[in-house]
Structure 1
């Protein structure tokens, strides 16, 4: 369109490039048509798929197309009629005659001016007939003023300048008359020419002029034989020049257009048709673009609402326009951003809550105390590993189960539930209740069983939940009992041992003094009584010594020790002592020692006593059995980094009441035992930081013997 507009103002440019412009515009129109068809195909596809905004885009495109097409067609019809008829009015006989008359008038005017200048120049040339060349300059200046010329020059016959007045004086190389012009002057006695009108641009810028050349008359005396010529130049008035050029150009253009009248009509009508096509296609494309601009905010909002509904709160695009739809998209984007920030704040709060919960769970998992959360009906809601360790039950497997229905905790659960009910019905002066319990943790043949003494504390929680905290005080009770027994043993050793020796000596002295004075029957009775007294005193002394040793057990001196070597040393000595003391009644001892066992930290002397006590108890338990058997075994656990010592037998096992309190002093199944063997073992184990477990070996519900195991840490 720009090129066509420029070409219309420049007819030569238009005529020269009309073909290229037409092809170029047809290409542009074809591209616009292709774009419009492609957009319509997309609109049809969107409409067929029922995509949001498609109907709105179609309506807007149709409206804008009609708005652009109907006025365009109307203007085209009117313009076509106007152009086709107005071109004919341009070419009229009167117009052509007027242009010819104007052109002739201009020519006649220029001829008159030229003749007048030639006559005046001829008259002025007479003033130079007697004037020598040296003084011709003053005469020429007077002639220039008389003629009103811009330039006056005196030439010789060879075309060389003799003198000048006017503009030529200041030119280094003024324009000289040609030989042909000089010959014309000699023959016709004058020569005039109009310069500058051939080039309209030059004439407009520099003006046109009339130049006249005449011969200078020869003097009568013939002193100056060489011919001379006088040239005068007068500038044509600018108005006359402009009018002449205008008439000349108009006539030329009129003649050219008259010759190309039909082509000019087709050219203008083609341009008009192209303009219509471009306007219509542009209107359609503009309709689609504007319709898309109107529908785009709605599409953005629809897409954003769908994403928000799906939970996507990422930043939404917003239009920067100043209209209401653009403001609506920005408001929606701001709302989405605020929702995203709110969700981030909630997620951060949740992360903080989760972190606090994880920290609390870590604390609970590492508490030595047991923590159980119960609902109002006594169902287990949560528990920590400490509770499972204390109760010897994996409580996480029983979540949702009433604590009174957990196997092994029936009575404990009922007591806890009853205590909670009493606590909640009482006027609560304190915020918790506390009560000790003794719990038998026997769960099967493979689980060590002990009597667990624990303290339970209960409190209410928000929402009706109940908090139960358990502390295992078995070790504390055992240590208190051990301390009490040590104190008893110390006092017994002090109070009983001192009178035993005088009693024994007095009995032996009575036998010596009275044996010879009594009849045989009384003497035999005296001797038997004295022997009984002495034997019982010896027994009392051994008992007191054992209590003394238990009370005065020295502190362990820990150092790296080879446990397998200690077991072999004890077995070697124990077997030899057994051979000498027991003979064929000796109970055999088998050993299964793990060669991978590293050294442990221990006191060799005390560990030998432990091994000896355990083997002695095992042999005593299997004595009288059909096939007595005692096994001592060592095991190395790479995972836990501990060494385990196990002594087991195939005796009758521990009775239930003994199993609960086996490590307390004076608890024994032997008729002649003091019950200090396992108590000493327990005390030495505590000194070594070892864990000791006691259980009965079961097979098909029948006790197959007892097993005692100790777990030691390795030397670094």
Structure 2
């Protein structure tokens, strides 16, 4: 796979993608809260609004599926990163696993707890005990309402009796103001909040009110029908007005032509109405128990899955924040291992231990690069010096050998190679005893006396059965090691020997030649002086004298030739052409 594809596969999630995931997560959470709010409010379980809540949950399920796909894709990319050489993938996966378990465990436990609570709660609310309790509460409330109605009915009959007295009837026809005052006193004594005298069509004949916001509501036809039968007509919680907080009673007064006494008795009708509505909703909910249970389970399932997705996302993010700097350190260390000392670890804004480690790593690489540069420069300088020394040693006719602590050769020049082992290219690393055992004794003397110079003369026998005379010097130094220098003094020894023989020849020639001249002169003198005196055998005398002179001359020539051996040959000067 190309490198670009690998980098695309293992790269971290971008801030834009993280922001989109966060927005999607909070939108899903908001939709769950909205659906829960709708379901838990009045009429949300059995009313028409439950369909809206189910629709929101279905749409949120699609969003949760998308979020789960994003988390799965990110996890798969992180898992496949180990196949493409990403640094520290196993560490990253361990962090992901640990953080996922740490984050998902509370979510799973909470989900199990909520599931048990919801299951038990649904069983409880739809059980016989709650239904029986609601029925009993409704019965008690209706009994209380009926007792209040009986008490108000008795008070209404008593008030109707007082208003039926002749003086009250006369005041109704003669003095309405006095009648209204009397009506107010009667209503106040009995605790009514309003009292009306109305005809059969609901028209007000007289009225008194003790509340400013009390509004007159004409009796319903049902109340007229009940009152027409001679009994007190009482409104029920279902038939009362929605905003009413009074019990209304209607009673016909026969002392007046077509007149009814209509009063308002204080009573919290909303409480009874809510109780009845709750009873109806409970009855409807009991009929729709299976659907409600499925709706709650659906809501609970989405909450659990969303919490699990969020925990895994947080685990991936936390693991990435921890493992990414470690991966950068591993990658940088790998580059340093390959020789790239310019590798640096990119540090974030966090001032933690990993950032401190990254700074220490960067300082280390800078120091290593500086030290390597210094080492390279020092090595280059050493190489220049070594090359210079080798150039000097190459031009030196004396042999030079450097030895380490184990007598292995570390330095040798060409002169030493030509003297010790002609035809060999390199003797570096070879033991000195293998090259020439004759030098071992001098080397041992130098090691026994560090700081002093061991000297000696060694005779080497060459392959052509010649003898080389070497003058050897060896010195031991703790830093430089052991250095051996030696010179080929074969010609010098030969020259010294030749000079000695020349001196011997010169002296012998001198000692032999000195008596020859007197002998020759004496022989010639004898011939001149005694030749005339010899009368007999003159020829023998001349022949003997001539032999002496001749042999002396021959010996003189031989001595001259022997003496010329001790002198340098005479140069012969000739003209030659240089071109």
Q: Which TM class, normalised by the smaller chain length? A: 0.3 to 0.5
Q: Which has the higher helix share?
A: 2
The answer to which structure has the higher strand fraction is 1
Per the normalisation by structure 2, the TM-score is 0.47
The TM-score normalised by the length of structure 1 is: 0.39
